[in-house]
Amino acid sequence: MPGSIIGELILQPLLEAALQVFGYWTGRIVIPTLSFGLLRIESVDRARRARPKWHGIHRAQGRGWVIDDNTTILLGLLFWGVMGIAAYVVFR
């Protein structure tokens, strides 16, 4: 019982924060690189949104396609998942 309380109160938020930071910075670097600059990550100033979002991706005026921070985290973690599967297949 005490182990589950410690896990829920301390370890779960730490793990979620680490995954979010790791996924965000991976996505922030990988997405613009792989898309050759066509996709950008949303800046801190969110008031400049031109059109409604569509699943985390929207089009900004004169800037191309912009991806929000939650979608960036998802794509960053997805990148590492694909890299893990690729490493498994290559080194198997």
**Model confidence over 24-56: pLDDT tens digits?**
889 899 999 998 888 888 765 555 554 455 566
Greatest extent of the chain over all pairs of C-alpha atoms, in Å = 55
pLDDT band at 13, cuts 50/70/90? Answer: confident
- Which residue's structure tokens are 């890299």? 83
Q: Which of 89, 71, 64, 61 is nearest to 30 (CA)?
A: 71
Query: Which residues partner with 64 through β-bridges?
Result: 60
Which comes out higher in pLDDT, residue 20 or 43?
20
Enter the tokens of residue 82: 């694909």
Alpha helices for the chain (secondary structure H): 2-6, 12-34, 69-91
Task: Summarize the confidence of residues 67-88 as an average pLDDT.
Answer: 92
